[in-house]
Amino acid sequence: MDRLVALCKRRGIIFPSSDIYGGIGSAYDYGPAGARIKRNLADHWLREMTMKHDDIVELDSAIIYNPRVWEASGHVGGFNDPMVECSECKGRFRDDHIVSIYLCCKCQKSKVKKTGVETREPTTENETACEICKENTDWQRIETQCPRCGAKNSLTPPRQFNLMMKTYVGPIEDESGIAYLRPETAQGIYIDYKIVMETSRLRPPFGIAQIGKAFRNEITTKNFIARTREFEQMEMQFFIKPGDNEKWCEYWREQRWNYLLDLGVRPEKLRWHEHEKLAHYARAAWDIEYEFPYGWGELEGLHDRGDFDLSRHSEFSGKDLSFFDDSVKERYMPHVIESSSGLNRAMLMLLCEAYHEDVQDGEERVYLSLDPRIAPVKAAFLPLVKKDGLYELGHDLFKSIQGRWRADFDESGSIGKRYRRQDEVGTPFCFTIDYQTKEDGTVTVRWRDTLQQERISKDQIPNFLSNKLGII
């Protein structure tokens, strides 16, 4: 992880925000290559959702909604994390992230050390089997340790901390102006579902997909871009007829899993986690977890939300959000199956998958084996030397594909150095223009991962890229 973070900083892919002022704790900026990777990933997700499925449409809703939305959704009252504070170092932590020693409530003998997992579920009462009683049992926390200063039993009892970021709308900073930066994009979809359905001439089953910023006042942020206070979500809410829930959960679970495999993620690095304790809105919930360098962590969620959201918004707004199916003369409140993914966390996962080191000609090489669809630059044009017309030849070839694929022209430094530069940002193909190009019109193509080289006619470059990259 440290080496990936260092690469990201060295190449200006991702780096701490407002760094010249000392940063602001876990806010990150995405430089040219990083911004491009993030956008490619977002575009790819959106294409997958709205182009591969003709029953899903896109939405771009506001970030600040009427605050009543958050009362209806349950966020004002219930979007809390349990926070503990260390009486020694004054550090604040999420209670369910603390490593503690637990005692078996049944036999009072067996002790286990458990790390809070990456979930909002409390771990204090997790029912797991005791090695001595051989039965499922409750566990009582008997010893805590501060993750920062190491002090034993210095943590205060947990208190609930609301994660929504407050702001004021309008010139007067009083109660009447309080609003929230959305902590998820999903609610924007629910409140707009009816107008989108009617204007798009859709009827259940159909989906609405949205990518956008979300804000959570996380107690602790960590693991680079995996948990920050400002992040982006890619959420798709699928509206169905009640009763079809299981079928659609199954369908979307399979879709999401295959989507990740198609992006090249190794299946052994992925696993499902089914929630036993459910959030107030959910009837069933699964996470896809990825094994990050710091351990397994949630990548995205798949939730059966039933009619919770639409019913609550109907009740709170006074507007009937039910659907009348005129083909069978039946009225019902659609149920929702939600696919909820974090763009930044997904990007981190792809960077972890792509990060490779090897040794070439005695020199260490770092390369990102990014899927070409996600790579920030698709091809680089490298004249072997600047003289004898090779520069101009290379530049003309570079210009000839500009506008179709994102490409780079690099003429400075040794060819080896230039290859390394491209490898580090994951450019899948490098075209080298040399003296032979002048003679027979061929260039060398170098493949990033295998380092395989072949000569193709320079006129074949657009064809080669179309074949290898498809529509991107």
> Which residues have CB under 8 Å from 278's CB, separation 6+?
284, 285
Please report whether residue 344 would count as binding ligand ATP according to CB under 6 A: yes
Give CA–CA dist 337/305, Å, rounded: 6
CB of 159 to ligand ATP, least distance (A): 18
Residues 319, 323, 328, CA angle at the centre, nearest 5°?
150
Tell me the window of 15-23, 44-52, 292-300, 391-399 that interacts with ligand ATP (CB under 6 A): 292-300
- Specify the residue, 216 or 373, whose C-beta has the smaller distance to ligand ATP: 216
Please report whether residue 94 would count as binding ligand ATP according to CB under 6 A: no
Please report whether residue 82 would count as binding ligand ATP according to CB under 6 A: no
Q: Which residue has the tokens 């000569």?
A: 455
Please report whether residue 118 would count as binding ligand ATP according to CB under 6 A: yes
> Which residues have CB under 8 Å from 158's CB, separation 6+?
82, 83, 84, 95
- Specify the residue, 193 or 286, whose C-beta has the smaller distance to ligand ATP: 286
In the DSSP assignment, the letter for residue 157 is P
Among 85, 95, 289, 300, binds ligand ATP (CB under 6 A): 300
Tell me the window of 58-66, 226-234, 245-253, 316-324 that interacts with ligand ATP (CB under 6 A): 226-234
Give CA–CA dist 191/61, Å, rounded: 10
Tell me the window of 3-11, 12-20, 112-120, 173-181 that interacts with ligand ATP (CB under 6 A): 112-120
CB of 264 to ligand ATP, least distance (A): 19
Number of residues engaging ligand ATP in binding (CB under 6 A): 19
Q: Which amino acid is at 118?
A: E
Name which of 184, 167, 180 is nearest 340 in CA terms. 184
Among 301, 306, 383, 426, binds ligand ATP (CB under 6 A): 301
Q: Which amino acid is at 90?
A: K
CB of 59 to ligand ATP, least distance (A): 17
What is the bridge-based pairing of β-strands 92-94 and 80-85? antiparallel
CB of 345 to ligand ATP, least distance (A): 4
CB of 362 to ligand ATP, least distance (A): 40
Among 185, 233, 237, 432, binds ligand ATP (CB under 6 A): 233
Q: Cβ atoms within 10 A of the Cβ of 158, count?
A: 19
> Which residues have CB under 8 Å from 429's CB, separation 6+?
378, 379, 380, 445, 446, 447, 448, 464, 465, 468
Give CA–CA dist 225/331, Å, rounded: 44
CB of 350 to ligand ATP, least distance (A): 13
Please report whether residue 238 would count as binding ligand ATP according to CB under 6 A: no
- The first and second tokens of residue 41, run together, are 């990933």
Please report whether residue 38 would count as binding ligand ATP according to CB under 6 A: no
Give Cα 444 to chain centroid, integer Å: 36
Site string for ligand ATP, 177-196 (x = CB under 6 A): -------x------------
Tell me the window of 13-21, 66-74, 116-124, 165-173 that interacts with ligand ATP (CB under 6 A): 116-124
Please report whether residue 162 would count as binding ligand ATP according to CB under 6 A: no
Among 204, 342, 372, 394, binds ligand ATP (CB under 6 A): 342
Dihedral class, residue 470 (left if φ above 0, else alpha if ψ from -120 to 50, else beta) = left
Q: Where on the chain is the footprint of ligand ATP (CB under 6 A)?
A: 118-120, 184, 216, 218, 227-228, 231, 233, 298-301, 340-342, 344-345
